[in-house]
Structures are given as structure tokens and as C-alpha cells.
């Protein structure tokens, strides 16, 4: 149980607890198999140590990122043969890629500066300088400095699953990536999908193969923007010397990137009025932070939001005291030493030493409510209606918890840690929960299965259901999904099932091709299409019933059914109606589905009421 107290506060972001037991066997992560070849290649990162972003002369060839046809395409914009774009600080030289069976090649502008980089350490993002020379935007920038906490077994495990291949890291990291179809855009501009990665606000980078927006942009005719933002102490320094609004730098980075989109996306054929933010895990948490901090009558720089496996409104525990890890870090590095303060001392410290210390001492830095980037009572704020009034979609995976609970075998002991926030009747509650997840039934064969399913529902699924219900209750068009498919080639470790983050390669169309099944291919295309359908017209939704409409709507019956003209029809051509509103992606019972099947929410949520007292206690929504 070591590590529980320090990390439980961030459990709703993306948990790294419960991994104290080393995974016994080797495994091939999604992108590490010896046969793995990314279908369309990517820029080499191994040499990008931060120097890749000096201005180019403009006369050299860009690096082709894959197929031979990518050089010398019709989109030639500079002598080297790649596309160009003029943004507010200068001229970008990009590159192109073509995907099989796609109608348009994709212009990629990778490593685009959206802020001064490197930023002042522990300081807010600032506008970048103008560039007098063209900017070489042909490869991903390094990741911001990442944190993978000890124990070492946990560190290795999380790295293997979520940081594979490992990118270079640098404080010089405030860059974003644009993936845009090369064909002329409609006069009013294409829809823009702006992605925020997960990683507990401790790690993550836009430069991961999984987040390559080329397939999405190419097959769905949208513009995809993926951005870096600072994490851990570099993104969320809790120093008492910083001003109240100077702690959540990672969120300020995200907002800076969104502002960049407003100013510049038209240069890529995108419409600044058609931006949808989508994020996963801590990226979804960040998205909910945005939603709840834009008041009712404001005009956020986005018009739709998709939250995959994360939200900010319902958490399993309160935050820890924010000042502690900052002081521990200061002490570990001998601060303030000869410096005037801990802040100036840590500003001068070696970044590698900081990284090493926060990893080994498990110093977790959480964002602090500042009422600008993060409100203090998100659930109450939502229920009051005083949040961004834009359509939303959110969902979770059917077995999120399996990756967080590998090696756990003692259900009672585990639940004691997990449900510990409930002060009065913990023993009674554990007994009730254990009884609701009986061993030997509903596929729960082992204590691990049992623990993982409680984790899935308590940490992810039930909070997401409440989030969706709350959004719908204040009149926000809301759609909810449930991802329920797993494939041999997406198992980062044996027997993880439909684990946290496993929907991402499906959504981005970056699932690997080795051992790819027909179901996987079709399901991925269907999900990409639904996400893009939402982004193109958020108030119309992704294609199934909005949450809690109470109105009969068109639903899909049968996994082989297809979407025809926006209507779902069953295998025999019938169109069924019902008030069901949960879109199940993939498997439905014994059917290996490749589309969406709409079911009533209660079928998967019937145990959520068990956890209700805890959510209400922590969110302060009791009685509302
Ligand atoms: C642009 O970056 C790529 C990848 O780092 C590098 O190979 C190429 O030489 C650079 N081009 C210029 C003009 O600097
Ligand atoms: C940067 O260039 C823009 C024009 O693209 C100009 O409006 C702006 O004043 C310049 N900023 C600086 C600091 O030179
Ligand atoms: C600076 O860090 C030390 C630990 O080295 C701590 O004891 C002290 O309280 C910190 N000072 C301030 C002003 O936070
Ligand atoms: C920071 O520490 C690392 C690891 O000890 C070392 O390799 C690097 O040279 C140091 N950087 C500076 C700027 O001193
Ligand atoms: C944020 O707002 C809440 C409620 O209005 C208030 O209690 C809290 O002190 C505020 N926090 C900050 C940092 O301003
Ligand atoms: C499980 O944990 C409980 C509570 O910590 C403990 O009393 C019990 O002995 C453990 N069971 C096994 C089989 O280790
Ligand atoms: C969501 O709302 C429905 C309809 O009111 C309700 O039946 C369900 O229990 C709610 N779900 C949760 C998790 O609160
Ligand atoms: C078509 O399928 C639906 C559900 O699968 C079923 O309810 C309906 O009776 C079928 N219609 C015909 C004409 O077979
Ligand atoms: C999810 O898939 C599993 C395995 O195929 C299946 O047993 C289960 O019924 C599915 N869940 C739902 C809600 O259909």
C-alpha cells in the first residue's frame, strides 16, 4: 500500500498507484513489437535534443516522413518541396505524408512554437519572438520534462505502457503540431480538433505515435492540433512565493495553445470558430477544468468538448496539502542555500536533478484551484449552470482499472485504501461493495478482476456518468459512450482487457497494423468518424441519443449494423427506437461489434449508487 497517501489525490487524473508489484513477464507494448512498423512513418526523434528548432535557411530539403510520394507533392511551398504556412511569428516549413486510400495528403507542421521556449522555469508562458528565418517544422519537439514516480518497477511499467518509445525531454518544449489536409478548405474553414494528452499531469507528450493526427485529418477532413504543455513541478509548481494565479502553468500553456489556434489556424485552412477540445485522462481533466472555468456568458475559444476517461468534477479523495512537496524538493536540493529563496534556488537547479528527486521521492504536484484556470468546486459550479454552455461528449472504457491494479490480490485490503475517504462506515461499505462485485460472476474470476472492476467504476465510470448527467441536467447537449473492445495488438501487457487509454489508437487511427483484425479496423474507422462528426457539428452530436433526453431516438441494434445517412440501421435494415442513450463501442455481449450499440445507462451503472456518498462528500454536492 506504499504510495497510497501521496498519490491518491491525483488518482482521478491517471493513477500510478497499485503498481508496486513488478509485472513478472516481458511484454510487447503497442509500438515495441519487433515487427512493428508505423504505417506511415514519422520523423526520427533520436537526434532532436532541443536544437531541432533553430530557424532553417529555407533552402534545404525537408525530411520526408514516410512515403516517397510525400516529397514533391502538389503542395510544394518552398524550394525543398514541402508546404509552408505563415503564422504570426514567421514562416513555417512543414512536410507532407500520404496515407493509403486517403483522398488528401496531409500537411504536417510539427514543433510549431506557440510560446517562448524554453519558458522561464516556474513562470507563465510568454509570447514567442518573431522569427526572421523560416521555422523548420518537420519533426516533433522534445517532451516537456516528464515524471515517472518510483518504485522502480512502477516506473518501468508506466514507461513501457505510456512512454514508448521514450522521446527526448527538455524544458524547451512549448511547441504544438498541426495536421491539415492539403486540399483547399471550404470558405468557412475546416473543423479543428485540439488534443490534450493524459499522464496524471506528471508526464505525456504530443510527440507520441499514438497521437499522430495524420490519419484523423486525412480520413475525416478535419484539422488536428496536438500540443505540449508542462507537467509535474515544471507545470504545477506549488511554491508559496508564486502568485495565486501562477501555479497552474500547464493549464496556462494549454490556454496559450488554444489562443494560438484562434490567431493562426485559418492559415492552415481551419476555422477558429469550429474548435473542439478533446482530451484523455489528465487531458480530459484539463478539458473539464476549461469547461467549468469559463462562465455561462463567456465565449470560450472552442465550441465542443470530448472527455475520454477523465473529468474534474467528481474525485475519490481530497487533495493533499500543496506546499509539502515543494518544501521537500527544496530540502532535497539544499535550497535555499546561497540563494535568496527556494524559488530562485530551484530556478537555478539542474533540471535532471529536479526530475530525479521528484521521481525517487514520489513528490506529486497537483494543480491548485485559482478560480481562473481551475475553480474550487467544479461539480457545484456545473450544477449552478455557470459554466461554458457548449455540447459535450464523454465516456470511459469498460475495464479502465486493470492497468492500475496489476498484481493486486487482497480485495479487502485494496478497498480499504481506495474507499478510505468515507470516514464513518468504511467497514460496512467495503462489505457492501464486495458483495456487489461477487467473485465467480459477471466475468469476475479472480480478486484482481474484482478489484479492477471496482476501480473502473469508482474512479472512472460512475464519475463520468455523474458528469454527463449533471451536464445534461443544466441543458447542455451531452453524449456518453462506453468503449468495450480489446485486441491482441493493443495489449501493452497480458490480459489488460479494455484498459485505460486503450481507445486512443482507435480514435486516432494509429492502431498498429500487425495482427490487426477486421473488427479493429472497422471499429477504429467508425470511432474516428463519430469523433469527427461531433467536431463538425457538436450540437448534432456523434450520432446517437443525447443523455437524458427522455425522447425516443434512432438506435443501432446489432453490431454489424451501419450508419446510413446519419441513421443507424440494424443488420436486417430495421431502424429501432428507444430512449436509450449510452453508446457502446465494440463488443455487445457475445457479438464482436465494429460500430456503436446504444443501450440504457443503468445496464452498466447499476452499482454507481454505492459510491454516491463518497462523491457527494468530496464534491460538496450533497443534497443538490
Ligand atoms: C529540419 O529538421 C530536420 C529534423 O530535425 C533536419 O533533418 C533538417 O536538416 C532541418 N532542416 C533545416 C533547414 O534546418
Ligand atoms: C512580429 O511580427 C508581426 C507581424 O507578423 C508584427 O505585427 C509584430 O509587431 C512583430 N513583433 C515584434 C516583437 O517584432
Ligand atoms: C525553503 O525550503 C526549506 C527546506 O529546505 C523549508 O524548510 C523552508 O520552509 C522553505 N522556505 C519557504 C519560505 O518556504
Ligand atoms: C545536470 O545533471 C546531469 C546529470 O547529472 C548532467 O549530465 C548535466 O550535465 C547537468 N547539466 C548542467 C547544465 O549542469
Ligand atoms: C475561489 O472561489 C471560492 C468560492 O468563491 C473561494 O472560496 C476561494 O477562496 C477562491 N480561491 C481563490 C484562490 O481565489
Ligand atoms: C487481506 O488484507 C486484510 C486487511 O489488510 C488482512 O487482514 C488479511 O489477512 C489479508 N488477507 C490475505 C489473504 O492476505
Ligand atoms: C443518471 O441519470 C439517470 C436518469 O435520471 C439515473 O437513472 C442514473 O442513476 C444517473 N446516474 C448516475 C451515475 O448518477
Ligand atoms: C430486425 O431486427 C430487429 C432487432 O434485431 C428485430 O426486432 C426485428 O423484428 C427484425 N425485423 C425483421 C423484419 O426481421
Ligand atoms: C463488453 O464485452 C464483453 C466481452 O465481449 C461482453 O461480455 C459484455 O457483455 C460487453 N458489455 C456490454 C455492456 O455489452
The pLDDT value recorded for residue 289 is 98
Any catalytic annotation for residue 98? no
Between these two residues, 553 and 517, which has the higher pLDDT value? 517
Give the CA angle between residues 481, 484, 487 to the nearest 5°: 140
User: For 447-567, where are the alpha helices, taking DSSP H only?
Assistant: 447-455, 462-473, 504-508, 518-536
Q: Reduce the secondary structure of 206-244 to three states and give it as a string.
A: CCCHHHCCHHHHHHHCCEEEEECCCCHHHHCCCCCCCCH
Residue 609, ligand 2, Cβ within 6 A: no
**Options 170, 281, 313, 486, the catalytic residue:** 281
The pLDDT value recorded for residue 150 is 94
Neighbours of 423 (CB within 10 A): 7
**Options 400, 457, 503, 601, the catalytic residue:** 400
Of ligand 7's listed atoms, the one at least distance from the Cα of 605 is: 13
The dihedral over CA atoms of 213, 214, 219, 223, expressed in degrees to the nearest 10, equals 60
Q: Could you report the per-residue pLDDT of 128-147, keeping only the tens digit for each?
A: 999 999 999 999 999 999 99
Average pLDDT, the chain: 84
Pocket test for ligand 3, best of 329, 336, 345 (most atoms within 8 A of CB): 336
Q: Let me know: does 40 contact 397? Beta carbons within 8 Å.
A: no
In the reported structure, the alpha carbon of residue 592 is separated from the centroid of ligand 9 by a whole-number distance in angstroms of 9
The pLDDT value recorded for residue 102 is 76
Element (H, E) at 619: helix 612-619
The pLDDT value recorded for residue 492 is 84
Q: Let me know: does 196 contact 229? Beta carbons within 8 Å.
A: yes
Q: Could you report the per-residue pLDDT of 399-421, keeping only the tens digit for each?
A: 999 999 999 999 999 999 998 86
The pLDDT value recorded for residue 29 is 22
Q: Which three cell numbers stand for residue 357?
A: 528527486
Dist CA 262 CA 301 (whole Å): 7
Residue 348, ligand 4, Cβ within 6 A: no
Q: Could you report the per-residue pLDDT of 478-505, keeping only the tens digit for each?
A: 999 999 999 999 888 889 999 999 999 9
Give the CA angle between residues 227, 233, 234 to the nearest 5°: 45
For helices 612-619 and 462-473, the axis angle rounded to 10 degrees is 60
Residue 88, ligand 2, Cβ within 6 A: yes
Whole-angstrom CA distances from 50 to 118, 168, 170, 617 are: 9, 8, 7, 46
Dist CA 240 CA 366 (whole Å): 14
In the reported structure, the alpha carbon of residue 357 is separated from the centroid of ligand 4 by a whole-number distance in angstroms of 14
In the reported structure, the alpha carbon of residue 138 is separated from the centroid of ligand 1 by a whole-number distance in angstroms of 7
Any catalytic annotation for residue 500? yes
The pLDDT value recorded for residue 46 is 25
Amino acid at each position: 500500500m506504499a504510495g497510497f497517501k501521496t498519490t491518491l489525490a491525483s488518482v482521478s487524473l491517471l493513477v500510478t498507484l497499485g503498481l508496486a508489484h513488478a509485472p513478472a513477464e516481458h511484454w510487447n507494448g503497442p509500438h515495441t513489437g519487433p515487427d512493428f512498423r508505423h504505417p506511415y512513418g514519422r520523423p526520427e526523434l533520436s537526434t532532436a535534443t532541443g536544437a531541432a528548432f533553430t530557424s532553417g535557411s529555407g533552402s534545404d530539403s525537408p525530411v520526408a516522413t514516410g512515403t516517397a510520394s510525400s516529397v514533391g507533392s502538389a503542395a510544394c511551398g518552398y524550394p525543398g518541396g514541402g508546404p509552408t504556412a505563415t503564422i504570426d511569428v514567421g514562416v513555417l516549413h512543414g512536410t507532407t505524408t500520404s496515407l493509403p486510400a486517403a483522398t488528401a495528403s496531409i500537411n504536417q507542421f510539427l514543433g510549431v512554437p506557440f510560446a517562448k521556449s524554453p519558458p522561464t522555469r516556474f513562470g507563465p508562458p510568454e509570447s514567442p519572438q518573431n522569427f526572421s528565418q523560416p521555422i523548420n517544422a518537420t519533426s516533433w519537439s522534445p517532451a516537456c520534462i516528464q515524471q515517472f514516480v518510483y518504485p522502480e518497477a512502477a516506473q518501468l511499467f508506466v514507461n513501457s505502457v505510456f512512454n514508448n518509445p521514450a522521446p527526448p525531454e527538455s524544458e524547451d518544449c512549448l511547441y504544438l503540431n498541426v495536421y491539415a489536409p492539403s486540399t483547399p478548405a471550404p470558405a468557412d474553414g475546416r473543423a479543428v480538433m485540439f488534443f490534450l494528452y493524459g499522464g496524471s499531469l506528471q508526464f505525456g507528450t504530443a510527440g507520441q505515435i499514438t497521437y499522430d493526427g495524420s490519419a484523423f485529418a486525412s480520413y475525416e477532413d478535419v484539422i488536428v492540433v496536438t500540443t505540449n504543455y508542462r507537467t509535474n513541478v515544471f507545470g504545477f509548481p506549488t511554491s508559496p512565493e508564486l502568485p495565486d494565479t501562477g501555479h497552474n502553468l500547464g493549464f496556462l500553456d494549454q490556454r496559450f495553445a488554444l489562443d494560438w489556434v484562434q490567431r493562426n489556424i485559418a492559415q492552415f485552412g481551419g476555422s477558429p470558430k469550429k474548435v473542439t477540445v478533446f482530451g484523455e485522462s489528465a487531458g480530459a481533466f484539463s478539458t473539464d477544468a476549461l469547461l467549468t472555468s469559463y462562465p455561462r456568458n463567456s465565449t470560450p475559444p472552442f465550441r465542443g468538448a470530448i472527455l475520454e476517461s477523465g473529468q474534474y468534477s467528481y474525485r475519490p479523495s481530497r487533495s493533499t496539502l500543496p506546499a509539502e512537496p515543494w518544501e521537500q524538493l527544496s530540502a532535497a536540493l539544499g535550497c535555499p542555500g546561497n540563494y535568496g529563496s527556494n524559488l530562485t534556488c530551484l530556478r537555478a537547479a539542474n533540471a535532471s536533478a529536479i526530475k530525479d528527486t521528484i521521481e525517487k521521492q514520489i513528490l506529486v504536484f497537483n494543480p491548485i484551484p485559482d478560480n481562473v484556470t481551475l475553480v474550487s468546486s467544479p461539480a457545484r459550479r456545473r450544477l449552478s449552470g455557470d459554466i461554458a454552455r457548449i455540447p459535450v461528449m464523454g465516456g470511459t472504457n469498460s475495464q479502465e482499472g486493470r492497468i492500475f491494479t496489476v498484481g493486486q490480490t487482497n480485495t479487502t485490503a485494496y478497498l480499504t485504501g481506495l474507499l478510505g475517504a468515507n470516514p464513518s462506515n468504511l467497514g460496512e461499505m467495503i462489505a457492501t461493495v464486495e458483495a456487489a462485485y461477487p467473485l465467480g460472476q459477471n466475468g469476475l474470476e479472480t480478486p484482481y478482476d474484482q478489484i479492477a472492476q471496482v476501480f473502473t467504476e469508482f474512479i472512472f465510470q460512475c464519475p463520468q456518468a455523474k458528469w454527463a448527467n449533471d451536464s445534461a441536467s443544466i441543458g447542455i447537449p451531452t453524449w456518453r459512450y462506453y468503449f468495450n473492445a480489446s485486441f491482441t495488438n493493443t495489449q501493452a501487457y497480458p490480459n489488460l482487457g479494455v484498459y485505460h487509454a486503450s481507445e486512443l489508437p482507435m480514435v486516432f487511427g494509429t492502431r498498429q497494423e500487425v495482427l490487426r483484425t477486421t473488427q479493429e479496423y472497422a471499429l477504429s474507422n467508425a470511432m474516428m468518424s463519430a469523433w469527427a462528426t461531433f467536431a463538425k457539428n457538436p450540437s448534432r452530436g456523434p450520432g446517437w441519443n443525447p443523455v437524458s433526453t427522455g425522447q425516443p431516438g434512432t438506435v443501432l441494434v446489432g453490431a454489424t449494423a451501419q450508419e446510413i445517412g446519419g441513421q443507424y440501421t440494424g443488420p436486417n435494415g430495421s431502424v429501432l427506437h428507444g430512449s436509450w442513450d449510452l453508446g457502446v463501442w465494440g463488443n455487445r455481449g457475445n457479438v464482436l461489434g465494429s460500430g456503436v450499440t446504444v443501450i440504457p445507462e443503468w445496464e452498466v451503472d447499476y452499482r454507481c449508487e454505492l459510491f454516491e456518498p463518497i462523491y457527494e462528500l468530496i464534491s460538496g454536492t450533497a443534497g443538490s
